[in-house]
Amino acid sequence: MIKTVAISNEKGGVAKTTTALSLGAALAELGNRVLMVDLDAQANLTLAIGFEPGEAEKTSSDILLDNLPLLAVRRKTEVENLDLVPSSSRIETSEQFLPVRTNYTTILQRAIRSTPNMPYEYIILDCPPALGAITRNALAAADLLIIPTQAEYFSAYALRNMMTMIRRTREADNPSLAYRILVTMLDRRNRTHRNIHEQLRSTFGAGVFNTIIELDTKLRESPIAGLPITHYKSTARGSTQYRVLAQELMEYAKETENKQAA
């Protein structure tokens, strides 16, 4: 079964794209075939994996606006088992033109489900830092929403709007949408970080990943090299933690499949 994972938070600067790339690479390293879909006009995921935004003839906007097949847009990366649907600034027009279409929130969902013989175990959707038409499409298409969240007040506060969006998506387009909060950029020496992390666990319980992503300068350096952290510095703390996250996600996926089969 293909697992589609959306990575989203209305709050920017929470390691959303870093998580999309690092998790995708870690899953690929574990033998999964992974397709990453860049849905952000800033195209940071595209840039971070070594492509120049704007050079691709076809991008994710062609899927949303022109109903181009998903596999017609993908590009091979230098990382084994890891492919990319790139983005460009054109996708900004999707926010303007999509809402006038019928059933516009499920365009991406239909594009994924209608792909014959899907050659991937995981599809990772990197969303823009906004809760508009593009993010609604991603959540409608996803089996799981990962919400990267810093252990800081503004980032935690932004979860309110995310929870509202989850409820709205479940009611309208995707009743089985699940979510997990991922605490990122944690500084264990910082008392505020520790306190907010504890509050998140107390409030959301099993809705928070056990894995924590701590501060690691190598995570900031790897996009400059156009490589995921697992390939840029395999022994870095960030590499280890994203590998652990990939294992936790795979275990979650297996448990979900078993429940559905029961």
pLDDT at residue 157, rounded to an integer? 86
Q: What pTM value is reported for the model?
A: 0.96
What architecture is domain 3-261?
Answer: 3-Layer(aba) Sandwich (3.40)
Give the 3-state DSSP-derived string for 199-252, with helices as H, strands as E and coil as C. Answer: HHHHHHHHHECCCCCECCHHHHHHHHHCCCHHHHCCCCHHHHHHHHHHHHHHHH
Does 1 score more than 80 pLDDT? no
Give the model's confidence band at 165: pLDDT under 50 very low, under 70 low, under 90 confident, else very high. Answer: very high
pLDDT at residue 210, rounded to an integer? 97
CA distances from 144 to 29, 43, 80 (A): 21, 22, 24
100-149 pLDDT, tens digit per residue, is 999 999 999 999 999 999 999 999 999 999 999 999 999 999 999 999 99
Tokens of 227: 């490589």
pLDDT at residue 80, rounded to an integer? 96
% pLDDT > 70, the chain: 100
Among 59, 83, 56, 89, CA closest to 73: 59
pLDDT at residue 138, rounded to an integer? 98
Does 242 score more than 90 pLDDT? yes
pLDDT at residue 56, rounded to an integer? 87
Average pLDDT over residues 23-46: 97
CA–CA dist 61, 111 (Å, integer): 12
Eight-state DSSP code of residue 119? -
6-34 pLDDT, tens digit per residue, is 999 998 889 999 999 999 999 999 999 99
Average pLDDT over residues 51-55: 88
Higher pLDDT, 95 or 147: 147
Please answer whether residues 88 and 58 qualify as being in contact, where contact means their C-beta atoms are separated by less than 8 angstroms.
no
pLDDT at residue 155, rounded to an integer? 86
pLDDT at residue 260, rounded to an integer? 83
- Residue 67, sorted as left (phi over 0), alpha (psi -120 to 50) or beta, turns out to be left
